[in-house]
Amino acid sequence: MTASPSPSAPLRLLAVHAHPDDESSKGAATMAMYAAAGVDVLVATCTDGSRGDIQNPAMEGQPHPKRDMAGARRLEMDAAAKVLGIQQRWLGFVDSGLPEGDPLPALPSGCFALQPLERAAAPLVRLVRDFKPHVILSYDENGGYPHPDHIMAHRVAVEAFAAAGDPARYPGIGDPWEPSKLYYDRAFSPDRFRALHSALEEAGLQSPYAERLAAWLEADAEGHTPPPPTHPTSTQIECGDFFEARDDALRSHRTQVDPEGFFFAVSAAMQRKAWPWEDYSLIESRIPAELPETDLFAGLR
């Protein structure tokens, strides 16, 4: 069933992410803002993150992640969820890792990206039917970037959005619930990176975004504009007051995030001036939608 929230019931938002730390680098300020406003926010983390490499030089040599990366990342995820004020659930799959080399090696047996779709989606369908979100956030078909777990996270989110309300599909794992809206996150919006790049240059600071922007420009034969995104921005959430919470949540993922790295090149104050939004594409809505939007729950309040 699809149902609008009653005046006394909270709105509910479900974000589907591939690994612990993805929730803090994509849409974290949006989630923190909605959670602070009384929305029930839940992150579904598809994998355990066990094949992640240590990305923070300060964590090299630490015994816990070397002995038990999944356990270390579980503790980091708990800390990040507390910072953002959200709930979090594990879907129980094993990290596929990011294959490297030419030719690319085969993915590890039993990993998330190699699961049949119905097996991979079943835990998320169960979670949707239990949590009953009005809105689901996910990645685009490319996974935001083409990591096999991100692509599979996209596939299971789309499958759950389509199937959770159908009593004939995934029988025996909860009463049907039909979410109202599906969005793709646009954390890698070229417009956002251009704005942050310009803000740094105007302040006389070095920008880490030049290489990324140049790669986008090279995709256009005449070098005028980056290639158009597959899904243009339909919805911008003004959440600049929660950029510090987003950054603190990211820093909670100590094995994966260098506190001196790319994500922290622009101060929260500068970002509030240059680009105080997080961007999304509305992919499907089962209620009337008027674009552009400034609220993921537009039409549901």
DSSP line for 71-102: HHHHHHHHHHHHHHT-EEEEEEEPP-----SS
Region 46-66: mean pLDDT is 91
Q: What is the dihedral of CA 224, 229, 230, 235, to 10 degrees?
A: -140
pLDDT, tens digit, for every residue of 58-78? 898 888 988 999 999 999 999
Question: What pLDDT was estimated at residue 8?
Answer: 64
Other residues' Cβ atoms within 10 Å of the Cβ of residue 124 = 25
Architecture of the structural domain at 12-187+277-285: 3-Layer(aba) Sandwich (3.40)
pLDDT, tens digit, for every residue of 91-103? 999 999 999 888 8
pLDDT, tens digit, for every residue of 123-138? 999 999 999 999 999 9
Report whether 51 contacts 24 (CB < 8 A): no
Cα–Cα distance between 62 and 245 in angstroms, integer? 26
221 confidence band (pLDDT: 50, 70, 90): very low
281 phi and psi, to 5 degrees?
Answer: -115, 125
- 295 contacts: CB under 8 Å, gap ≥ 6: 235, 237, 301
Question: What pLDDT was estimated at residue 226?
Answer: 47
**Domain spans in the chain, listed from the N-terminal domain onward:** 12-187+277-285, 190-228
